[in-house]
Chain A
Amino acid sequence: MSDISKKSLTEIVKLIKKKEIKSEELTKSYIKNINSDKKLNSFITTCSEEALRKAKDFDKKPIFDTLLPGIPIAVKDLFCTRDVRTTAGSKMLENFVPNYESTITNNLWNEGAFLLGKLNCDEYAMGSSNETSYFGNVMNPIAENTVPGGSSGGSASALAAGLTPTTIGTDTGGSIRQPASFTGTVGLKPTYGLCSRWGIVAFASSLDQAGPMTKTVSDCALMLQAMVSFDKKDSTSINKKKENYSTSLTNNIKGLKIGIPKEYRVDGMSKEIDKLWENGKKILKDSGAEIIDISLPNTKYALPTYYIVAPAEASSNLARYDGVKYGFRSNKGNDLIEMYENTRSEGFGDEVKRRILIGTYVLSSGYYDAYYIKAQKVRQMIKNDFDQAFKNVDAILTPSTPSSAFKIGEKKNDPISMYLNDIFTVPINLAGIPAISIPAGSDINNYPLGMQLICKPLDEQKLLNIAYAAEKKINFKQSLNRWWEK
């Protein structure tokens, strides 16, 4: 691995601006790293030639007053990219080439970045281990045969292994924060509505939110700044003044109140996670914050609520895949209905089908009130818990995940144990609030563990500041033996 790909995005941007490195040299070093991706399988599509051409174009006529000048970036394959195939990790979209660009990727390109490739993910972002992807498992650079988390597993793996300087993911129930936690990287899920959903393959529209995945908190602030915009094309996009997250970043968090929710101490949580949490408290206290015990009484109902709301929205969103206008079509079936049934049976993987069936059932006549309306009521109660808590605290500290990265295959045959991975991240999506996972330590196997900070809606700056202060004190270092290059 070249030295340049060990650097943070913030450092690389500085080098480019100081003309100490050219975009072409930078891009070449990432392409070289991507050539060793075979065992990691973090990329679905590479755009090396086109990226090199863009890098050379940049060097010929550099524009330095952007946030991401001449930076190559690989993105989760859930973001539609014009003329570059976008699969969502599914056979259904194996050959889908959008003729439009998602707002988020477009914002990155407007800030001077260009596309390096498309990253593997769970099929339609449904999964917590990247094992549901039609394009195969992704491995975690921390150890062979270990999952990188999901659904943004390819993004986390490529970032941690130095195959892209930064990346973006989407988070419906933890799909940015859990893989960040599993790979020793930083991942932020913004307030619902802050980042446009236009051009992102939809999973559950009231929960989906794009966000940055980066090596450091400074990088995260920079990327978020580049991503945020008001977008007329997304009816849930928030219209507000653009903030300068990156230059406003400070580690001064004196006097901030940090809540510790007792309900997040779940049964069977390992001592290591508990220790990590205690350490997090101590670090924030040492930085001048005040630690306060709080209660989020309906926490235990978040996951059951999620497994009604998310599949319901997914069953509706995925109804569009009928084999007519785009995507896969089965050649079996004697009429239109049979064509639909075969197309959806062959084109979707098992987990996606499972969730469509759950969603169809909870929305079906006679069951709608008992399941869907009930879940929306409990969702309101969960949101009220957070609203109440934020009357007394500035932020909430919890672990990001109940365990570190697990082995491939370990949880694949037990959906509930897989779903439990997201126990600490799901409530945040249900409440539409922002949260970040930062690396906070390691377990006995030296696998990274993350801690999660949560703030009230649109408090991203405060969230980043607290994370920044904690990051400085934790001083997490990860050394990878780069087994996949051998």
Chain B
Amino acid sequence: MSIDKDKIKHISKLARILVDEKKINGLTKDLSSIFKFIEQLNELNTDKVEPLSSILNKPLRSRKDEINDGKIRDQILKNSPQKNDKFFVVPKVIE
């Protein structure tokens, strides 16, 4: 699988990362060589292998869905890059 500029643009859109036009050539080259490296896996026949689902060999534990904290709005808001006194603020989404 070769990686070209259009593919990079498509993936960066999916990942919500704006890619600088100036960096796109270098990125295409790097990702192409990484995918060439990754594709060594195609040498292996894996038809009869089940994909690994958990390294612990057992299903994950689930916990009761209980409220165990709360009333920490101000603490949570403290780390927000933009807020008013009660809410996170984002650019306008509804016209």
Q: Please give the residue numbers on chain A whose beta carbons come within 8 Å of chain B beta carbons, in ascending order.
A: 95-97, 99, 192-193, 206, 232, 235-236, 238, 298, 300-301, 303-305, 307-308, 315, 319, 322-329, 333-342, 344-345, 348, 350, 353-354, 356-358, 360-361, 364, 371, 373-381, 383, 415-416, 419, 431-432
Check B79 against A358 for contact (C-beta < 8 Å): no
Nearest Cβ in chain A — how far from B79, in angstroms? 4
Nearest Cβ in chain B — how far from A383, in angstroms? 6
Nearest Cβ in chain B — how far from A104, in angstroms? 19
Check B62 against A380 for contact (C-beta < 8 Å): no
The 7 closest A-B pairs by CB, nearest first: A376-B51, A432-B55, A326-B79, A329-B81, A345-B18, A377-B46, A341-B18
Q: A307-B34, A360-B15 are in contact. List 14 more A-B contacts (CB 8 A).
A: A99-B75, A236-B56, A301-B44, A323-B81, A334-B91, A335-B91, A354-B30, A364-B11, A375-B41, A376-B53, A383-B55, A415-B30, A416-B33, A419-B37
Given the complex of chains A and B, what is the CA–CA distance between A99 and B76 in angstroms? Answer: 8
Tell me the residues in window 32-49 of chain B with beta carbons closer than 8 Å to chain A beta carbons: 33-35, 37-42, 44, 46, 49
Nearest Cβ in chain B — how far from A369, in angstroms? 10
Give the residues in chain B near A326, CB-CB below 8 Å: 79-81
Known: A235-B60, A329-B82, A381-B46. A99 touches B72 (CB 8 A): yes
29 interchain pairs (CB within 8 A)? A99-B72, A99-B78, A235-B62, A304-B37, A304-B41, A307-B38, A325-B76, A325-B80, A327-B79, A327-B81, A329-B82, A336-B90, A338-B18, A339-B91, A344-B15, A344-B16, A345-B19, A348-B17, A357-B15, A358-B31, A360-B15, A361-B11, A374-B41, A374-B46, A376-B53, A377-B52, A383-B52, A416-B33, A416-B34
Known: A336-B93, A373-B51, A377-B46. A356 touches B40 (CB 8 A): no
Residue of A nearest to B48 (CB): A377
Give the residues in chain A near B53, CB-CB below 8 Å: 376
Given the complex of chains A and B, what is the CA–CA distance between A137 and B44 in angstroms? Answer: 39
Residue B50 interfacial (CB < 8 Å) = yes
Given the complex of chains A and B, what is the CA–CA distance between A381 and B44 in angstroms? Answer: 10
Most chain B C-beta atoms within 10 Å of own C-beta, residue among A305, A319, A333? A305
Give the residues in chain A near B49, CB-CB below 8 Å: 377-378, 380-381
> Chain A interface mostly helix, strand, loop or mixed?
helix
Residue B6 interfacial (CB < 8 Å) = no
Given the complex of chains A and B, what is the CA–CA distance between A379 and B51 in angstroms? Answer: 8
Given the complex of chains A and B, what is the CA–CA distance between A325 and B81 in angstroms? Answer: 7
Give the residues in chain A near B40, CB-CB below 8 Å: 300-301, 304
Given the complex of chains A and B, what is the CA–CA distance between A329 and B91 in angstroms? Answer: 11
Given the complex of chains A and B, what is the CA–CA distance between A307 and B39 in angstroms? Answer: 10
Give the residues in chain B near A381, CB-CB below 8 Å: 44, 46, 49
Most chain A C-beta atoms within 10 Å of own C-beta, residue among B8, B20, B80, B88? B80
Check A335 against B93 for contact (C-beta < 8 Å): yes
Give the residues in chain A near B72, CB-CB below 8 Å: 99
Known: A97-B78, A376-B51. A415 touches B34 (CB 8 A): yes
Give the residues in chain A near B75, CB-CB below 8 Å: 99
Known: A358-B31, A377-B50, A432-B56. A328 touches B81 (CB 8 A): yes
Known: A238-B56, A345-B19, A377-B50. A357 touches B8 (CB 8 A): yes
Residue B63 interfacial (CB < 8 Å) = yes
Give the residues in chain B near A361, CB-CB below 8 Å: 7, 11, 31
Residue B14 interfacial (CB < 8 Å) = yes
Give the residues in chain B near A300, CB-CB below 8 Å: 40
Given the complex of chains A and B, what is the CA–CA distance between A206 and B16 in angstroms? Answer: 24
Nearest Cβ in chain B — how far from A407, in angstroms? 21
Given the complex of chains A and B, what is the CA–CA distance between A341 and B14 in angstroms? Answer: 10
Given the complex of chains A and B, what is the CA–CA distance between A235 and B63 in angstroms? Answer: 8
Check A380 against B50 for contact (C-beta < 8 Å): yes
Nearest Cβ in chain A — how far from B86, in angstroms? 14
Known: A339-B90, A340-B16. A358 touches B51 (CB 8 A): no
Nearest Cβ in chain A — how far from B61, in angstroms? 5
Most chain B C-beta atoms within 10 Å of own C-beta, residue among A95, A348, A353? A353
Given the complex of chains A and B, what is the CA–CA distance between A431 and B72 in angstroms? Answer: 39
Give the residues in chain B near A206, CB-CB below 8 Å: 54-55
Given the complex of chains A and B, what is the CA–CA distance between A97 and B52 in angstroms? Answer: 36
Residue of B nearest to A239 (CB): B61
Nearest Cβ in chain B — how far from A301, in angstroms? 6
Check B17 against A324 for contact (C-beta < 8 Å): no
